[in-house]
Structure 1
Amino acid sequence: MSSNQLLKDINVCHLFKKERNRLNLSQKDIADFLGMSSKQVSRWETQIAIPSDKLSLLAGIGFDVNFVLTGQNYDSLVIATLHGSNLQTSHEDLVAVPQYDLAASAGGGALITAEHPIARFELSNRWLKQNNLHNKRLTVVPVRGDSMESTLFDGDLTLVSLIEDQTEAREGVCVLRFDDEVFVKRIQYDFKSKGYNVSSDNKAYSDFFVEAVDIENGRFNVVGKVERVLQRTKF
């Protein structure tokens, strides 16, 4: 192992521990979540870097994966307000992901005011490749409302892959457009009726069905798939 690689691994160990402390999680909490020993988690913080597959799993309990890999926390991820299509990055190993003013809502919906980039996030190209996201057209979308709790919470920042072909998103948690409103909901395509069942993970909200006619006349479409939560507001 080269001295540069050793230094990089030590830095990841340090950032992993720092992120665990930020979330007020013990080594045992991490070990129990992953189904392994606390001794192994301790080794990740002192000797060897955490395997990428385990780190990806920890994103499910709020770990800021980008921070562990790059040292950039949530505050430093928002690099600048964008002007036009300027997506230059500060380092060749980073990929610029724009945030659009879609105001995606996980509650009753939110009126779209614009679709121009308003900010950008710099994500590790290595992390994107590890999660099979490097060839996708990505954007960052904030969640508004509580209808997707306990999957998504008000204020969460989600990484969304935008789609052009509606067949790419037949089910799962997606960003949807209905008329002038945008929602984050769970969908399932009904092949018989050619419509969508739309549901909320928070059962206080009613499910509904989108008819084929609303799709055909352009009132409804799937904007993209929620791939990851970049930053959680609740743990």
Structure 2
Amino acid sequence: MSTYQPLQDINVCELFKEERNRLNLSQKKIADFLGMSSKQVSRWESQIAIPADKLSLLTELGFDVNYIITGNSSNSLSLIPSENKALQPSHTDLTVVPQYDLAASAGGGALVVAEHPIARFELSSRWLQQNNLHNKKLTVVPVRGDSMEHTLYDGDLTLVSLVEDPTDAREGVCVLRFDDEIFVKRIQYDFKSKGYKVTSDNSAYSGFFVDADDISAGRFSVLGRVERVLQRARKVD
């Protein structure tokens, strides 16, 4: 069984609709605020989950985004006004996990726009302890592209543990940097050549090998390991 599963079996579409009704907001008003069509907003209530960047914006309208994602109300996702407040939880039993302004691409890559947190999640400290994640430096990273289907899908929000020592992430699904691009791929370290075999779970994409010279030159690094999917961007059969 794959370990990359949502935290709960949550119907994001229904919870988004509940929040919209609670705030007495029409689909058109939300669409106008986000600069998109009412039809796109309507699809969020019946077919697809909401992109991460739109989730952050919805907090400005009063949406409880944590409720939409997990089914638990705590107003966990919010724009971060300053570094000083970034890691202060709203409750003692919660732990703040920041989201940075970057996207891990499952296809052709995505440029790192900034390294400062732009939003935050508050996750249960008890849940993190139960899953041996409480002592790890965590971040939330959205996936872009389809090369990791059927493990990860375009638009998925992933919980990633950042690594400082490369030996902590030598295999598995990881967030990678190659030059100025960010990827999420499956890796396997080759001890003989001291390089990495990098592959996609979607067979339509070819794998490649990163040799020791690229690593020593600073062109390639493993940024983190994908631990969980916080929110699926689409319904998975």
SS in 2 for 1:126: helix
Larger radius of gyration: 1
Tell me the amino acid that sits aligned with residue 79 of structure 1.
S
How far apart are the structure 2 equivalents of 1:85 and 1:223? 24
Shift of 1:83: 1.8
- The Cα offsets for residues 5-27 of structure 1, whole Å up to 9 and x where unpaired, read as xxxxxxxxxxx89x36968xxxx
Which residue in 1 is equivalent to 2:182?
Answer: 182
Tell me the amino acid that sits aligned with residue 67 of structure 1.
T
Which residue in 1 is equivalent to 2:94?
Answer: 94
- The Cα offsets for residues 102-150 of structure 1, whole Å up to 9 and x where unpaired, read as 2211110001111110101000001101111000000000000000001
Shift of 1:84: 2.0
The percentage of aligned residue pairs carrying the same residue is 69
Query: Aligned pair count?
Result: 175
Shift of 1:71: 3.7
**Gap runs ≥5 in structure 1:** 1-15, 24-63
How far apart are the structure 2 equivalents of 1:21 and 1:169? 31
Cα 1:20–1:140 change in 2 (3 A) is closer
Which residue in 1 is equivalent to 2:82?
Answer: 83
Tell me the amino acid that sits aligned with residue 76 of structure 2.
L
Cα 1:114–1:203 change in 2 (3 A) is same
Contact 2:69 2:231 in 1 (8 A): no
Shift of 1:202: 0.6
Question: TM-score if structure 2 supplies the norm length?
Answer: 0.69
Contact 1:138 1:162 in 2 (8 A): yes
How far apart are the structure 1 equivalents of 2:69 and 2:11? 14
Contact 2:194 2:212 in 1 (8 A): yes
Contact 1:139 1:160 in 2 (8 A): yes
Contact 1:82 1:119 in 2 (8 A): no
Contact 1:146 1:153 in 2 (8 A): yes
- The Cα offsets for residues 20-75 of structure 1, whole Å up to 9 and x where unpaired, read as 6968xxxxxxxxxxxxxxxxxxxxxxxxxxxxxxxxxxxxxxxx99725x445xxx
- The Cα offsets for residues 137-188 of structure 1, whole Å up to 9 and x where unpaired, read as 0000000000000100011000000000000001000000000000000000
How far apart are the structure 2 equivalents of 1:66 and 1:95? 16
Which residue in 1 is equivalent to 2:195?
Answer: 195
Task: Looking at secondary structure, tell me which structure has more helix per residue.
Answer: 1
How far apart are the structure 1 equivalents of 2:226 and 2:159? 6
SS in 1 for 2:105: coil
Which residue in 2 is equivalent to 1:156?
Answer: 156
SS in 2 for 1:77: coil
Shift of 1:101: 1.3
SS in 2 for 1:167: helix
Contact 1:102 1:113 in 2 (8 A): yes
How far apart are the structure 2 equivalents of 1:175 and 1:102? 11
How far apart are the structure 2 equivalents of 1:161 and 1:147? 21
Question: TM-score if structure 1 supplies the norm length?
Answer: 0.70
Tell me the amino acid that sits aligned with residue 78 of structure 1.
L
Which residue in 2 is equivalent to 1:144?
Answer: 144
Shift of 1:231: 0.4
Cα 1:222–1:88 change in 2 (3 A) is same
Contact 1:188 1:198 in 2 (8 A): yes
**Gap runs ≥5 in structure 2:** 1-7, 15-66
Which residue in 2 is equivalent to 1:226?
Answer: 226
Contact 1:66 1:124 in 2 (8 A): no
